[in-house]
Amino acid sequence: MAKATLTLKDCESLVRGILNYLYGRRVITLKLRRGRVSVSFLPNAELRRLKKKYLKKDAAIVDVLSFPEKESFPHPESDKVSLGEIFINKTIVARDPVRARYLLLHGLLHLLGYDHIRKSDNIEMRKIELMVLKKMGWQEG
């Protein structure tokens, strides 16, 4: 049996589903529910370069990076708020679409303001991740 793949079109649909679910659970506002997200699949070398440049950190393997959009950045072409950009390691996308789908969720939660710097923040983010994973019928990646 052929392994399922994850495409950028799939990501668009998954982001919509996650945002709609979180809005229904009163986790996010209507404005955020209508938000746009840019998703790209990049090679590990490019992800490492971005992580070093913008986050001042390095790692041998970078699975996902999220960069929230500045609220003041204008987007006259759309009435939707841009939440930001998610970059997923394209090797992971090719080898493990289940993990890539989880990374999409994880990156999206970062764009929505969740993080895992402090233990209490990590607990809250993890709670939301598990709630979405269960609702979507996904395995953890």
The residue assigned the tokens 């983010």 is: 125
> 97 is written with which tokens?
């679409």
**pLDDT at position 2, please?**
39
**pLDDT at position 1, please?**
33
Q: Which domains does the chain have, with CATH numbers?
A: 8-136 (3.40.390.30)
Our CA angle for 88, 102, 107, nearest 5°, is 55
**pLDDT at position 139, please?**
67
Count the alpha carbons within 13 Å of 70 in the hemisphere toward its beta carbon: 3
Q: Which residues of the chain have pLDDT under 70?
A: 1-4, 71-79, 139-141
